[in-house]
Structure 1
């Protein structure tokens, strides 16, 4: 794209690139696939007569949505063959993302996992409407449905998501406090301390992708989770550092300076109710440097 720096089509695309990436990522849960979608969207955009496009943002979001839907269907086959639980690809985000409640919630590990339970069209409609405030008419054009059908899909998807996401808004400071208590207990091998910061019904989901050791199914219950964590972290002398991942405080695990895992949490009533541990090295490439995200 650098060869066309003065080209209007390039300038417009670059101006909306972070938005389009965020759209694709929220629909796919994979930064690598989101980048592929953006490349496909770009190839279609450069064939368009920009002067004839009234709403450039809407047009680009529409192209990105359609490409994301195509990609979602191919990803479904990959996920069916995936070894163990599949978690979204974690991304290091700027600290100010955590202060943007809307953006942080929309890219949180917990919500991204809930979105995995929607159909591709439901996910597209929910993401465009709830996160990006796209009109029903624009969404209809993007997903090839009538506005009336889109309204019904949006209502059904919202009801499904609301039944599964956390009930309260948790501030970054509350999440950080729980994470610091968890980290301290982990580093000092304080098993009682770990039990104290975990909710009794806590669920741990670990993603090794068949490459790294991970539980092949979610682990439920504080005592079982503590046993698993103690087993995994007790074997390696890795270091834990805090960072903002997917808009929320998280732990980055390093071994000999190399990033080997990301541990994100979900907090309710000041205790950890969800642990999301990504160990698949193919999903850790976006943790070394910040990825810019935006809803606008």
Structure 2
């Protein structure tokens, strides 16, 4: 008895074609969306960033306005209420307004200092990894010196002996926090420079700088982006610590660390809101960057692709 078998052409489905055609970044984004903690962290960062940008539209007061001259003595150390959501300080300034405007300062220092660190660290790390030899020894020694020296003490020394200003703050932090980026870039360049496309670019006469910036750096961006995301949170914590100690952003600017320092002497007497709400703001922003950075690291790790 003859059995007829119908042979059908197997055509890859749309889903399979889409998976094969996805880029690295799209694939990473799809994995990142499945990470609930990373999405929660990203939401925290986005909300705080939007609050900082839209500060004049979501607050009713000026961050420097002393309301005791308008509302009388009742505006002094007023507890949280419908009028003042986070209460007021001893000068009658609205704490909610100062917390929102303080996000601008923290984010500005965090992003600017991280940008400076990325530029310095990636350039030095790329040179060390690409050339090796004496250049690698010098840059690696300098990186180890930066790691060995107490980070906070180094920043305090720079800030204490120079006139305080916002640009000085993020430049000082950025100049001495590049070592982690240099170490990441160096390790990645050592791996990538042995790839065939780099050897091909060298064979056709490509210059060293062209090979580094056009062929190598675009392929090592993933770990650098992850490191930068985590570094922003660390720098915000450092800036808050410096402001708390009185070496950071100077009053009357609404720096979160300085607000905590101002309100700590009233905490035990019952006026807890002056210190607690800026502390919660620091915690939320740093937590958001850390959760998002951890999720981004997992999403960009090719070993977790399956």
Q: Which bin holds the TM-score, normalised by the shorter protein?
A: under 0.3
User: Which structure's CA Rg is the greater one?
Assistant: 2
Q: TM-score, normalised by structure 2?
A: 0.26
Q: Comparing both structures, which one devotes a greater share of its residues to strand?
A: 1
Q: TM-score, normalised by structure 1?
A: 0.27
Q: Comparing both structures, which one devotes a greater share of its residues to helix?
A: 2
